[in-house]
Structures are given as C-alpha cells and as structure tokens.
Amino acid sequence: MERFDVLIVGGGPAGLGAALILGRCRREVLVCDAGTPRNAPARGIHGLLGHDGLPPAELLRRGREEARRYGVTIRDVEVCDVRRCEHGFEAELADGGRVEARKVVLATGMLDVIPAIEGILTYYGRGVYHCPICDGWECRDQPIGVLGPARRARRAALSLLRWSDDILVFTHGPAALTDDDRRLFEKHRIGLREAPIQRLEGDGEALARVVLSDGEVVPRRAIFLKTGEVPRSDLPTKLGCKINGDGTTEAEFHGSTESEGVFVVGDASPRVQLVSVAQAEGAAAAVRINAILQEEDLSLR
C-alpha cells in the first residue's frame, strides 16, 4: 500500500494551496480530486490578487502544474472513505486503490442548492450567481434580483444596494416577512415578488428577464441565489469532526479540527467563501501540518 505524509481530499484552491506549501517542505503528498469544482460555471475568478478575471479551470491547471514541480502526486479520483489505522489514516479510492497517510486535509467544499426552475442552469455563472462580493461588480447599475426565502434574501438584497439601486426579491412563494421587514424593503426601495418563478429567459449568453407564474415578466440582468448549501462530502462527519448548523465543519484558521490529524480548509470551513481565503486556509494548514510532522519525525531520531 502506498504511504504518504499527507492525503489532501479535494483539488480546488484550498487543497492545491496546501499541496504547494507541503511539496516545498519536501513532504510526500497525494491530492485526490473528483473533478467537480464548485465555481466551474463561473467565467472568471474575482478578488484574487494578480489573477482577477482568470477562468477557474486555468487557475487549477496552473496550481496543479506548480504543485507537481515539488513532487506532489495528483490523481483524478474520488476518495470514498477514510478511516483511522495504525499509521494514521487509510483511504479507499473510487478506482479500488487504497493509500495510507499520516495526516488528512479535507478540502471537500460545499454544494449549492439550485432550485428546479426552467433556464436557471442555462444562465448559471452568466447571470445567476451566489456571491455579491464575487460578481456584484459585473452587475453594477443593472436590475438585480435575489432569489430565496424572504428572511435570508433580505440581507443579500440590502448588501446589493452597493452595486445597484434596482433590487427585487423573488421568494418563489409566500414571503414570511414581518411588517417591519416590509417597511424596511419600502424604505430602501427594494421590490418584492411572491409569485413562483416559471422560467428565466435571455439570449442564451446573458440573462434578460424573469417570467412569473402569474404572467408578469420582470427585466433582470442578474439573479443572486440565497437558497442554501450543503456539505459535498460526509468525510468530516465520519472522521468525528464537529459540524455546524449551516453544514460547515468547525475548524481553526489553520484547519485543525476536534478530530486529531484531520484538517478542514476552504468552503467547508466556517469562514468567508472566497478563492483567496480558501487558498490562504490551505497554506496555513500546510504550515501547521509540517510543524506537527517535524515534531513527530524528530521524536523518532
């Protein structure tokens, strides 16, 4: 059975960020990636210094290339299970392989809940977004919608006023708003539509309008989803990590969890979900892991 110092589950910015540092520390590292990055539909990454607007696939290509320069092994395979063993951890891979590692980094991320609305996948990443910090600038001064339960959408709608003064909340059904909530919407001129959305329309490249079940057609150039997210993997639970109410895994900035030897970084951690933050978390975890491994190595001499 192959043995590594560190197994990294997930090859996004967080996983590759950890791999790059650990490779430079001359650690034996295996990155396993299932090949379904969360931000794949996005046209470009924003807020990453020196790489603003770079397509997500290109960032991963460069990251893999850089990590491999330092001896990191990268495999396009899903990790089905990880369990503790005598030498640390044993992982079962989807291709039937098994590997052992002294430490495990879970960079497994989250999955966005996408409503089953006609046209939403057509414009996903090109008019339908999640994060105003990531994509608000590209939608500035345009008519913007927020889709989600009223109380969750309220906060997003208020934040989007930084980019546009034409904000409309779609609750896709009856809105559970208090009178105070409605007065807040009125004060800031935030519109509200409770009729279910029938479909999204545009020219195939850019979103143009929202068609409601009552026949109303509402011009919108962007829709921000506030429909929730769920963990992509159950490995944190299997390995005894503490799971927060929002589905993220409780972890320190350097990735340490309640489960010894298990580190969680990136979107699955409870911090800001930005590529720049994910990469930083991976790097911070790598520094901590290398220090722990060094202490273990020196104690054996």
List pLDDT tens digits, range 167-200: 999 999 998 888 888 899 999 999 999 999 999 9
Residue 230 has pLDDT above 90, yes or no: yes
Residue 233 has pLDDT above 90, yes or no: yes
Model confidence at 158, pLDDT cuts 50, 70, 90, reads very high
Query: Residue 145's pLDDT is what?
Result: 97
Name the strands in the sheet holding 222-225, side by side, starting at the edge strand that comes first in the sequence.
128-129, 222-225, 144-147, 167-170, 191-193
Taking residue 231's Cβ as centre, other Cβ atoms within 10 Å add up to: 19
Model confidence at 20, pLDDT cuts 50, 70, 90, reads very high
Name the strands in the sheet holding 207-212, side by side, starting at the edge strand that comes first in the sequence.
197-202, 207-212, 217-219
Residue 220 has pLDDT above 90, yes or no: yes
Closest to 43 measured CA to CA, from 147, 112, 128: 128
Structure tokens at 2: 């192959």
Q: What is the mean pLDDT of residues 15-42?
A: 94
Contact 270, 244 (CB under 8 A): yes
Q: What is the model's pTM?
A: 0.93
Q: What is the mean pLDDT of the chain?
A: 94
> CB within 8 A of 262, min separation 6: which ones?
103, 104, 106, 236, 239, 240, 241
> What whole-number distance in Å separates Cα of residue 47 and Cα of residue 187?
31
